[in-house]
A and B are shown apart, each in its own frame.
Chain A
């Protein structure tokens, strides 16, 4: 594919407030995932493997970490002479300036950016989904169908269909109906938030949508329904494979655990479709005498003296002697002191758990740290904290400050 055929725009400005303390200082796409990745690595790697080399990343909420992480785009092979990766925050214009009001408005505010490349198509992606997908196949499908817009859909269980944007399509894939979170779904084809638009058509709709003061300037709520009303050619592109929206603490935990299931529910060890990331500069991980590691994923720079079961350890994590870490996710640089017991807990970057702490203890049950963001007995400890010796914390807990 010729590079200027398609520009990808990744929506990465959302806060992801349902991830609680994990997103107080970083945007959701920058949240660590799977032992050495950030959530946005999946969309970026998919672009790299699909031959898309012009990518705009729309940032708004807490963009610093994400900007630094993306840098020149080198880890994803997106440091190109023409095209490449661009971080696009909202900016002040001559007559006015405003925040991105919605997903569609974010693209509207960057019409000039896209026009610079005169693309035939624009690929709209979300920076907070975990999946491996060849967008090039989807673009080819869009061309074949002569579509104005193509929406990637995935079959979801009927009982969950009412949580998604649901498409009803005829046997040719032509979309006849779209309903956002319908109470009584007519189909189980859910929109993945992956759209291919023919650029001139999208540009027209974005401009129209912007003139409508009633609009919430959202692709799902406004752009797609109004294109459907005007009988534009909308097609559904069926995707088969793993796809997960990691919008909640529970879904983030589950998606991580899908990687270490045996066999994996989601296989990331795929030499033909590697997930690229900014790699840490750390030596291999060290497992000491007396360490026990099973059903887990461990990254470089970790030092393990205790027991790790069914867990994911990011770079530079230390697990002390006599400690037991189970069903947990430890973000980069976390330190687990000696004789701690950590169960079903996500621990933020560089947090130090002092000796003999118990976290996620079922026998305690829910305690004063119980949070509305946590469910399924999963607990959450924020980044950069120090938890003092002997602290005991129950389930569904969220800790925001050092204790």
Chain B
């Protein structure tokens, strides 16, 4: 897919996970013990052979920049193309892109789009957990002669989340006939994955037109408004899709990583999910460590008990402490005899000994980054 360039819209103004995204873009959210959400789409693009990847950002992008660096971990430190970090672009006092609308975001990177020679552009968000390559999508897009192809999956078991997505009506030929954005009563369960493939020159024309008319939203103003004149195809992805768009979905999708089949699908196949290397030592377990149904990354020191939890790199859990149904992010320290249940502890927190934090299964307690209790 050398003829396709990738654009990752790392910021989504609609998605907020309170304390967890106050300090970082949603795409930079730590996930599954050693990844950040952006690793999935970035690896998927690289595994598809895309070697020109741009990442657009808006606010709080320093943790994202720090994470992707020069793109080396994804093999994107290339002489030609490679990784492009595209922060908001302010021209002549006109802060294009700062409004947060995705049309504005795309408008602010027009120069990058014009300068890239690839025929197609693959646009995607940064908040999905999935393992997919895009070669089939591109052939499907070509074969159906579509102006633009959207990727969707069937979201059967989460009506609440379905109402937060773009829902498509699709006819027998696979053409999109209706689009609903965040519908109260969705007409189908064909939930958009915010992934689009389109010819680059057409995309540029669409963006210029929308911008000239003062429009901001890709779905409402560019797709829905032109649904009769555009030939929009829909491509179904049948694998696992974890959409992180709320604290609950972050927590639930994290816990799904304890499911062997899902873990195998995401991490066990040919197409690997890459992330920044930290050179941590192997995790050490002490004499009285207890661990059950948990994912534990490198560089941890486990002397207590861990059950049904996700433990990130460099975490230490002291003697007599019990951690259940929880997510503990990088370099946090849980001292001795603490009792934690249903909590999400952000990076670099410290819990002194004998602290007790109990959240509800559907409402985990969140400890913001660098909290000390």
Q: Which residues of A are interface residues toward B (Cβ below 8 A)?
A: 34-36, 74-75, 260, 262, 268-269, 274-277, 279, 281-300, 308, 312-313
Contacts and interface: CB of A to CB of B under 8 A. Distances in A.
Given A275-B279, A283-B33, A283-B34, A294 B288 contact: yes
Interface stretch (B61-69, B176-184, B296-304, B333-341): B296-304
B56 to A, nearest CB: 26
A294 B281 contact: no
Interface string B265-277: 0110000111001
Residue with the highest number of chain A CB atoms closer than 10 Å, among B72, B279, B282, B283: B282
A50 B115 CA distance: 43
7 contacts: A274-B279, A275-B281, A283-B266, A286-B258, A286-B260, A293-B302, A294-B285
Given A286-B294, A288-B292, A299 B283 contact: yes
Interface string B253-269: 00001101001001100
Residue with the highest number of chain B CB atoms closer than 10 Å, among A35, A284, A292, A293: A284
B279 A279 contact: yes
Interface of A: prevailing SS: loop
Contact of B296 (A269, A277, A292, A298): A298
B146 interface: no
A295 B287 CA distance: 5
A276 B34 contact: no
A269 B284 contact: yes
B299 A293 contact: no
Given A284-B311, A298-B285, A36 B258 contact: no
Interface residues of B, number: 41
Contact of A297 (B34, B260, B284, B292): B284
Given A35-B281, A269-B281, A297-B281, A285 B296 contact: yes
B45 interface: no
Given A36-B281, A74-B72, A312-B282, A299 B288 contact: no
A292 B285 CA distance: 10
Residue with the highest number of chain B CB atoms closer than 10 Å, among A260, A269, A313: A269
B222 interface: no
A283 B32 contact: yes
A291 B306 CA distance: 11
A295 to B, nearest CB: 6
B117 interface: no
Going nearest first, the 4 A-B pairs with the smallest beta carbon separation are A35-B282, A284-B33, A284-B297, A297-B282
B267 A282 contact: yes
A152 B293 CA distance: 48
